[in-house]
């Protein structure tokens, strides 16, 4: 939806995010992202959308951010995360999105996955990271068990409850309390992998030390 509001340069209001696209200011709402992801993708959609709201704030200091030159690297393989990012930025549709993952991940939720994203607008790059203790270690343990022969109905139910509770938390907490954000003055080229991801220890298990 295009905006003619006097707040058209405000990137985030409640569940809404604004972004420019070809000169037009769009107002996007979380409900729009959720219509594509009913059921078990609640958490991925919520955290991906909130991460883009955090990026919107970080990249709008000198004017509302724009889709036009965005390139995004995601260290989370979940389809709900990817599609929420695409809903806001259209970077997947425009071949300006890259997902990096541990070789053992197999394109699914896994204990080595990261809730980290790099959002580059052609001039600067915002590194957006979910607070390290936001997701409990037991969530990662469960994600490793799902899909294996020993997975139980109780495991599946517990995982769904985790996702509902995490989705509620990510919306109740201010963005500044949920995410750590760093903005660098250097952009990423399309296809470029951020330096932290290239470190040999990057894919060490995420949940070690989590509360």
Average pLDDT along the chain, 211 residues, taken 10 residues at a time:
62 97 96 74 92 98 96 93 95 97 66 90 98 90 79 87 94 97 98 94 62 29
| pLDDT on residue 182 | 98
Q: What is the pLDDT of residue 40?
A: 59
| Domain 12-192: top CATH class | alpha beta
Using only C-alpha atoms, the chain has a radius of gyration, in whole angstroms, of 17
pLDDT value, residue 189 = 98
Q: pLDDT value at position 43?
A: 92
Residue closest to 119 by CA, chosen among 194, 180, 62: 194
Determine the straight-line distance between the first and last CA of the chain, rounded to whole angstroms.
41
Output the pLDDT for position 1: 53
pLDDT at 22: 94
Q: Is the pTM of this model over 0.95?
A: no
The whole-number pLDDT of residue 84 equals 95
Question: Would you list the domain boundaries of the chain?
Answer: 12-192
Please report the pLDDT score of residue 8 as a whole number. 75
What pLDDT score does 210 carry?
36
Does residue 181 sit in helix, strand or coil? Answer: strand
CA-to-CA distance for 83 and 85, rounded, in angstroms?
Answer: 5
Q: Which residues of 82-110 are buried (b: 16+ CB within 10 A; e: fewer)?
A: bbbbbbbbbbbeeebbbbbbbeebeeebb
């Amino acid at each position: 939806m295009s905006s003619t509001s006097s707040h058209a340069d405000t990137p985030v209001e409640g569940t809404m995010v604004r972004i420019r696209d070809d000169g037009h200011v769009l107002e996007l709402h979380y409900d729009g992202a959720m219509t594509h992801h009913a059921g078990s993708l609640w958490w991925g959609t919520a955290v991906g959308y909130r991460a883009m709201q955090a990026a919107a704030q970080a990249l709008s200091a000198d004017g509302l951010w724009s889709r036009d030159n965005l390139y995004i690297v995601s260290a989370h393989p979940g389809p709900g995360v990817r599609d929420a990012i695409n809903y806001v930025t259209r970077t997947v549709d425009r071949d300006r999105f890259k997902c990096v993952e541990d070789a053992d991940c197999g394109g699914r939720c896994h204990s080595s996955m990261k809730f980290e994203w790099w959002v580059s607008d052609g001039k600067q790059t915002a590194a957006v990271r979910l607070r390290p203790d936001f997701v409990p270690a037991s969530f990662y343990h469960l994600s490793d068990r799902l899909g294996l022969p020993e997975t139980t109905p109780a495991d599946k139910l517990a995982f769904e409850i985790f996702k509902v509770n995490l989705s509620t938390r990510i919306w109740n907490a201010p963005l500044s309390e949920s995410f750590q954000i760093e903005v660098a003055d250097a952009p990423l080229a399309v296809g470029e992998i951020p330096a932290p991801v290239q470190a040999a220890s990057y894919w060490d298990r995420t949940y070690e030390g989590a509360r």
